[in-house]
Amino acid sequence: MRLAILEFLAAGKPDAALVDAFLDSHDFPIVEGQQITFVWRGEAAGVSLQHWIFGLESALPFQRVEGTDLWYRVVEIPPSSRVEYKLLVDYGDRRELIRDPRNAALAHDPFGSNSVCAAEGYERPEWTLHDAEARPGTLERRRLCSTAFGGRREVTVYLPARYREGRRYPLLVVHDGTDYLRFSDLKTVLDNLIHRLEIPPLVVALCDPRDRLIEYADDERQARFLVQDLLPALEERYSLVGRADARGLMGASFGGVASLSAAWRHPGVFGRLLLQSGSFAFTDIGSNPRGPAFEPVVAFMNRFRAAPGRPAEQIFLSCGIYESLIYENRSLVPLLTATGMDIRYVEARDGHNWENWRDRLREGLSWLFPGPLWMVYE
């Protein structure tokens, strides 16, 4: 296969009209097998592809087509990959980090948005999209008094469609719950998976921190909040199954640390853990290279690795292979397996982002909380 950009370069000395025709005849970035061509047009001193693929140089320079204002870069990306990126444009007197103006595909996060490149083989899972036939659950805000933190804390509670007081429901507690709703379409996913009988109707408590990097970094107050404040308040208000095997904790990045820490500090309370791209930094020798925010995480993980105990019965872990945390997540699997806990570990060709975590929810939730569909067919 000869790449479109090479055909363009071989067609003769390009001018503005040929550049216009080339740009008008393709969607960008151009995906041709494992070769992805990124382009930018404009006067600049330099252009680079700024990506979040761990192991590659973070800024890959573009090449300018001689005699034009067209810049390009070809990158080899394996099938089924999903990559978020920006363009770093150097104007000489200033530099700008921008979204790709020729790519309408965007992914959002608490810091803004990135352009998205989907390699061959990747498609957004259809169960993450709105299904008109799925009965929608409801969201309600509740306020509770926290003895762990002092003062009041708010939590959003998802109730499945046709919730009834006379029936008892499993409970899932989600760290960074509002971000999961906004950036991972969690409500849509829950509605769809419950409708398809892939998970049972769940009550889901969506929690948010006030100081995330402190409260989620093995803060004993967060663990006490979950066990002594939140859980009793939920059990008093909602009709829940009162067993550990019907309770789950979920979180991504530092939220994964908070989930594992709480279960480890209070074993036998939460029987199911869903940990996504956990920031499980540790040290075997030397100092922590990730900065001060990780110091309490490293201290916790070093203690946990020395004596993991049995914090839960089932743990589902996922991580993107393009993340810097892939080593730590991979190394955790044999340690957890050796404890006798039931472990499932999944990797994806993606990075440390909310859509990666969204795309793993079906597998994680349906394994931890299998619905009638899996009861029949497994």
> What pTM was estimated for this model as a whole?
0.95
What's the confidence (pLDDT) of residue 41? 98
Rounded Cα distance between 220 and 222, Å, is: 5
What's the confidence (pLDDT) of residue 197? 97
Look-up: residue for tokens 């921190």?
A: 209
Q: Tell me the per-residue pLDDT of 275-298, one tens digit each, with 9 for 90 and over.
A: 999 999 999 888 888 999 999 999
Rounded Cα distance between 222 and 126, Å, is: 35
What's the confidence (pLDDT) of residue 374? 63
What's the confidence (pLDDT) of residue 12? 82
Task: Classify domain 4-118 at the CATH topology level.
Answer: Immunoglobulin-like (2.60.40)
∠ at Cα 70 (68, 75), nearest 5°?
140
**Spatial contact of 300 and 263, defined as CB atoms under 8 Å apart:** no
**Spatial contact of 186 and 174, defined as CB atoms under 8 Å apart:** yes
Spell out the domain ranges in the chain. 4-118, 126-377
Q: What are phi and psi of 310, to 5 degrees?
A: -140, 75
Task: Classify domain 126-377 at the CATH topology level.
Answer: Rossmann fold (3.40.50)
SS3 annotation, 215-268: HCCCCHHHHHHHHHHHHHHHHHHCCECCCHHHEEEEEECHHHHHHHHHHHHCCC
What's the confidence (pLDDT) of residue 375? 59
- Residue ranges of the chain whose pLDDT lies below 70: 1, 374-378
What's the confidence (pLDDT) of residue 1? 64
Q: Tell me the per-residue pLDDT of 91-131, one tens digit each, with 9 for 90 and over.
A: 999 999 999 999 999 999 999 999 999 999 999 999 999 99
